Amino acid sequence: MLRSDSKLHCTRIRLSTSRFTLFFLIVGSLLAFSSLVDAAQNESKPSLIKLEEQAFQEAVATVSPSLVRIETVGGREVVQSQLTSTAASTGVVVSPDGYIITSSYHFLSKPSSIIVQLFDGRRFPAETVSQDEILKVTLLKIETGGLIVPPAVDAEEIKVGQWALALGKTYSAEVPNLSVGVVSALNRVWGKAVAQTDAKISPVNYGGPLVDIQGRVMGILVPLSPDDNTVQAGTDWYDSGIGFAVSFPTIQQHLDEMKTGKELKRGLLGVVVEKGETMGGPAAVEQVRFGSPAEDAGIGEGDVIVKINDLPIETQNDFKFAMGTRYAGETLQVGIKNKEETRTVEATLVDELLPYESGFIGILAERKSLGSAEPGIAVRYVYPDSPADQAGIKPGDRLIKFNEETIERSAQMEELIGSNIVDDEVDVVVLQNGEEQSLKLKLASKNKVSLPDELEPALVPALDPNALPEGFPKTGRLSEELEELKHRFWAYVPEDYNPDFPYSLLVWIHPAGQSMEAPMMKAFRAECDKRGIILLAPLAAEEEGWSNEEFEFIEELIETVRERYFIDPWRTVVFSTGDSSRFATQFVLRQPEQVAGLALSNSLILSRPPEPEPGLDLSFFLGAASDFQQQKQLEQVVEQLQNMKHEAILYKSESDSTTTFPEDLIERLCVWIDSLDRI
């Protein structure tokens, strides 16, 4: 028995050993197989990388004969406070007979000469032929032939996620610089960009091509921005992974037109769509520009745009996308809807919307009392060389008719003239020395009219201070709190205030931490009494200065004063200086219906005002001390305002900045206020 057990035990040991041997053989085989697989994979990885590199190289080789290097000489170094590019740039052959397309960004400086170097090293002088304002590309011409046009990709073939190679020739004339990425989005920037890429895009490759893995051109690289149409807009996304290419096939479609030298301009309809919290709201028309295609087509404020040609417009986003690539000269079928009907109108887009500019006869009218029964309006002052002066109109004459309509008050006359523009011919009837004179006047521009050297105050009869009715509004120096908004203000109302005549309103926005009440009263009191100006000075809640939350307070305060006193809306202005000028400017631009003008002392206007329109025509007075450091910039601001057809006056004081309110500046400012109701 012992032997048998021992034999059985040995058998079990041998069996167990065999199993372990088999196990290790299997594990070893698996490990060996795994090693072989890893080795095979490791051997395949370099080949995949090499294949990838080879594909990139072949794509570059395919398009390289069509790339050119562009050098510019001369031109402006700074454009709109931005340094212009002076480095070599890139272009792409677009026609065998010497035409080359590139980014317009490289020509901001308006260079005096352009040199193009071809793939084979030949160099040619080039001329600018045309520009496309929407796609922001420029067409150049060199005198040679036989150039190679690269293959193009139709927009329908471009897919998100595919390889995108951005090429440029800034660094080398022989070998293109290359940035590799993918197509990250399609039809961006309101349809202008056929593709968005995460490849690094910058002036290094602006004007160069964005190509696919086969070397076919998807588009031309340019800076773009959804919020700005200027040539340099979008350059702040330099190498950010957000770059754009405009469609190469689209450029080719417009090539014959560009070869003629025609500039391709952005098409303008002339409407402003209401801004909602998002772009998902309906495309409701908030404003129609004067003399625009929209106005000519009968589109009005409150209409909702529901279709552009065959494209349905459901949102503001849809509208911007539909208009993003429309050129001037295109005729659109615009579907509009209002409360009464849905209809389609035809509008031909233009490349420029001329600013509205109200016509000017050239007179100041006497202020008429509320109960006056005298016919027409009496002439107080005639501007030299104005249409009125040339027609022989004199102070003391009375205007009684304008284009067959009887005139009763100067505000009525201002509204009637507002429906006419510069160079319109109008008929007026003037009562002169007891006889009616019929005159034909050609309206002039008033945006550059100088202030009168001498302007006598308007005649306002004084009231008997002992016979004032009960409840007569307070006059003199006032200090109160607007209870609803818990804000204080002070004011000055001329002691001889007569509620039968309209007064000017000057709203003073004080600098941070100082109301300047005493110097303001000293500087303005005499002029307020002389010219019928009510001075209103809201006070900021905090020492640090004004906040945008206080716009409402000032609006309410102006309305409160208008309820108490007879205020002329055409002579309501805001005045400020120093660090509060920006706040004052923002308030005026936010409320053009509430004020007629903005006056600043030793300050620049840093925000662009809205375009003038009938009934909303802002005037500007910019004053400066003799030692103000930004005189040149101030002159440029006034010139820009006048080019926009705003009335703008620049006055340079004889005093330096040590005088807070120079006497000569205050006198000119108050004459400006007193003459804002000129006709």
List, in order, residues 6 or more apart from 419 with CB less than 8 Å away. 614
Element (H, E) at 190: none
Q: Tell me if residue 365 falls in helix, strand or coil.
A: strand
List, in order, residues 6 or more apart from 51 with CB less than 8 Å away. none
Distance between CA 94 and CA 151 in Å, rounded?
A: 10
Q: How many CB atoms lie within 10 A of CB 303?
A: 22
CATH code for the domain defined by 475-674: 3.40.50.1820
Distance between CA 518 and CA 510 in Å, rounded?
A: 12
Order of strands, edge to edge, in the sheet holding 487-493? 476-482, 487-493, 533-538, 503-509, 567-577, 597-601, 619-624, 647-652
Task: Using alpha carbons, select from 347, 299, 302 the residue that is nearest to residue 326.
Answer: 347
Q: Give 502-542 as a 3 state SS string.
A: CEEEEEEECCCCCCCHHHHHHHHHHHHHHHCEEEEEECCCE
List, in order, residues 6 or more apart from 131 with CB less than 8 Å away. 104, 137, 138, 139, 263, 264
Q: Tokens in use for 516?
A: 């300047």
The dihedrals phi and psi of 284, each to the nearest 5 degrees, come to -85, 135
Q: What's the half-sphere exposure (Cβ side, CA atoms, 13 Å) at 304?
A: 16
By the 8 A CB rule, do 651 and 623 touch?
yes
By the 8 A CB rule, do 105 and 222 touch?
yes
Angle subtended by helix axes 581-590 and 551-564, to nearest 10: 70
By the 8 A CB rule, do 351 and 266 touch?
yes
DSSP sequence for 65-128: GGEEEEEEE---SEETTEEPP-S-EEEEEEETTTEEEEEGGGGTT--SEEEEE-TTS-EEEEEE
Q: How far is residue 420 CA from its own chain's centroid?
A: 26
Distance between CA 377 and CA 206 in Å, rounded?
A: 62
271-348 has which fold?
Pdz3 Domain (2.30.42)
By the 8 A CB rule, do 186 and 230 touch?
no
Distance between CA 220 and CA 109 in Å, rounded?
A: 20
Q: How many CB atoms lie within 10 A of CB 193?
A: 26
Are the folds of 271-348 and 363-442 the same?
yes
Strand partners, 430: 399, 437
Please name the amino acid found at residue 179: S
Task: Using alpha carbons, select from 190, 357, 156, 188 the residue that is nearest to residue 267.
Answer: 190
DSSP 385: T
By the 8 A CB rule, do 140 and 122 touch?
no
For the chain of 679 residues, list the mean pLDDT of each consecutive stretch of 10.
38 39 42 47 64 89 95 67 68 97 90 93 95 96 96 92 93 88 93 92 93 95 87 78 93 95 95 74 88 93 93 92 94 91 94 87 89 86 95 94 88 81 91 92 88 89 85 92 82 94 96 92 96 96 90 93 94 94 92 89 88 83 92 92 91 89 95 94
The dihedrals phi and psi of 386, each to the nearest 5 degrees, come to -80, 165
Question: What is the Cα Rg of the chain in Å?
Answer: 37
The dihedrals phi and psi of 479, each to the nearest 5 degrees, come to -145, 120
Please name the amino acid found at residue 7: K
Distance between CA 275 and CA 286 in Å, rounded?
A: 9
By the 8 A CB rule, do 66 and 119 touch?
yes
Integer CA distances (angstroms), 164 to 133, 155, 175, in order? 25, 14, 18
The dihedrals phi and psi of 44, each to the nearest 5 degrees, come to -80, -30
DSSP sequence for 402-446: ETTEEP--HHHHHHHHHTSBTT-EEEEEEEETTEEEEEEEE-B--
Could you say which of 3.30.200.20, 2.40.10.120, 2.60.120.380, 1.10.1070.11 is the CATH number of the domain covering 65-259?
A: 2.40.10.120
Distance between CA 543 and CA 610 in Å, rounded?
A: 31
65-87 as b/e, with b when 16 or more CB fall inside 10 Å?
A: ebbbbbbbeeeeeeeeeeebbbe
What homologous superfamily is domain 363-442 in, according to CATH?
PDZ domain (2.30.42.10)
Q: What's the half-sphere exposure (Cβ side, CA atoms, 13 Å) at 113?
A: 5
Q: What's the half-sphere exposure (Cβ side, CA atoms, 13 Å) at 430?
A: 22
How much is the pLDDT for 18?
43
- Please give the model's pTM, rounded to 2 decimal places: 0.70
How much is the pLDDT for 9?
38
Q: Tokens in use for 225?
A: 């921005």
List, in order, residues 6 or more apart from 518 with CB less than 8 Å away. none
Q: Where are the domains of the chain?
A: 65-259, 271-348, 363-442, 475-674
- Unique residue bearing structure tokens 């705003």: 646
Q: Tokens in use for 129?
A: 């032929």
How much is the pLDDT for 15?
34
Q: Tokens in use for 260?
A: 């003629």
The dihedrals phi and psi of 77, each to the nearest 5 degrees, come to -85, -30
- Unique residue bearing structure tokens 């065959």: 310
Q: How far is residue 263 CA from its own chain's centroid?
A: 22
